[in-house]
Amino acid sequence: MIVFPNAKINLGLHILSGRADGYHNLETLFYPVNIKDALEVIEHTAVKAPPVQWSTSGLPIPGEMEDNLCLKAFRLIKNDFPNIPPIKLHLHKNIPMGAGLGGGSADAAFTLCLINEKFSLGISKQKLQEYALQLGSDCPFFLINQPSLAKGRGEVLTEFKVDLSGYKLLVVNPGIPINTAWAFSKIKIAHEQREPIDKILQMPVTEWKKQLVNDFEKPVFSSFPEIGKLKDLLYQNGALYASMSGSGSSVFGIFEVQKEINFPVAYFYKWV
């Protein structure tokens, strides 16, 4: 059985306050985009097979294997359903990492759903949400996978109607991985009154440039000017709105029509 975890972008991202649990209260709009990994599970029928045999292809995945979110997702379910037979789990990685596109969280959420469906476990939506939140603050979004207003630490989700189907969306990643914990450490909470993101998103796209802000841009652009220049390049080429996604480093632009833009060879970019 195979599924295709997709990326997301953030339409606006306000960091509202710190929290006693070490996280931050925020508001943002998660918007799914058609940049995808591939994730496959099959039963491992070999004698004395391990509970999970893990393999990857595509983009190299940094870090220790045991820290991979797909394996963590598997172990969460395995702890509650120990009779799941041994499996082979393979991830083909296409979504850039450290990119603000939520690829790791998407892979984890899709792993939960894939194993639930493959073995007919009957796990409720609420329980899947509980598993997902243990894996990452934006992981529960990928169980909904519809444009959603997110609050709390990102787990309080409300589906929100925002339709960009009449526009062309260009997502660009310069290959600079941004550590999310580092990005949060550089945030200075804005205490002035701001228009809520859901109100801004009800305005025409042409008005977003003036008001729809990602609070991570200031510290990230300061440390990595190349990313800020990428946003400028999108505006110079006619984007109606451009922004960094999440804590970076991907930047996206919303255009009326698709057009040719010259990026350095090493950049990943896709019209979606």
The last residue of a domain, from among 135, 158, 181: 158
Q: How many structural domains comprise the chain?
A: 2
User: Is the same domain home to 154 and 188?
Assistant: no
Q: pLDDT-derived band of residue 203, with 50, 70 and 90 as boundaries?
A: very high
User: Is the same domain home to 154 and 178?
Assistant: no
- Residue pLDDT, tens place only, 218-272: 999 999 999 999 999 999 999 999 999 999 999 999 999 999 999 999 999 999 9
Does position 165 have pLDDT exceeding 90, yes or no?
no
Prior bond of 148 cis (ω within 30°): no
User: Is the same domain home to 135 and 188?
Assistant: no
- The backbone torsions φ and ψ at residue 89, rounded to the nearest 5 degrees and listed phi first, read -120, 120
- Residue pLDDT, tens place only, 96-123: 999 999 999 999 999 999 999 999 999 9
Let me know: does 20 contact 44? Beta carbons within 8 Å: no
The last residue of a domain, from among 103, 124, 158: 158
Q: Distance between CA 58 and CA 248 in Å, rounded?
A: 21
Q: pLDDT-derived band of residue 192, with 50, 70 and 90 as boundaries?
A: confident
User: Is the same domain home to 28 and 52?
Assistant: yes
Largest CA distance in the chain: 63
User: Is the same domain home to 140 and 201?
Assistant: no
The last residue of a domain, from among 158, 183, 212: 158
Cβ count within 10 A of residue 85? 11
Catalytic residue list: 8, 138
Element (H, E) at 269: strand 268-271
Does position 190 have pLDDT exceeding 80, yes or no?
no
User: Is the same domain home to 72 and 207?
Assistant: no
Q: Is 212 left (phi over 0), alpha (psi -120 to 50) or beta?
A: beta
Residue type, 229: K
In the numeric block, the tokens 């899947």 are attached to 128
Q: pLDDT-derived band of residue 10, with 50, 70 and 90 as boundaries?
A: very high
3-class DSSP assignment, residue 183: helix
Q: Distance between CA 39 and CA 46 in Å, rounded?
A: 21
User: Is the same domain home to 41 and 138?
Assistant: yes
Q: pLDDT-derived band of residue 188, with 50, 70 and 90 as boundaries?
A: confident
User: Is the same domain home to 102 and 154?
Assistant: yes
At 206 the pLDDT is 94
User: Is the same domain home to 154 and 47?
Assistant: yes
At 80 the pLDDT is 98
The string of DSSP codes covering 53-98 is EEEEEESPPPS-GGG-HHHHHHHHHHHH-TTPPPEEEEEEE-SPSS
Give the strand pairing for 156-159 and 168-173.
Answer: unpaired
Which domain range does residue 135 map to? Answer: 2-158
User: Is the same domain home to 24 and 147?
Assistant: yes
Q: Distance between CA 125 and CA 129 in Å, rounded?
A: 6
Give the strand pairing for 52-58 and 87-93.
Answer: parallel
Element (H, E) at 99: none
| Domain at 118, CATH number | 3.30.230.10
Average pLDDT value over all residues in the chain = 96
Let me know: does 140 contact 158? Beta carbons within 8 Å: no
Q: Distance between CA 141 and CA 158 in Å, rounded?
A: 10
Does position 191 have pLDDT exceeding 80, yes or no?
no
User: Is the same domain home to 154 and 170?
Assistant: no
| Domain at 233, CATH number | 3.30.70.890
What global pTM score does this model have? 0.95
Q: Distance between CA 161 and CA 219 in Å, rounded?
A: 30
User: Is the same domain home to 134 and 43?
Assistant: yes
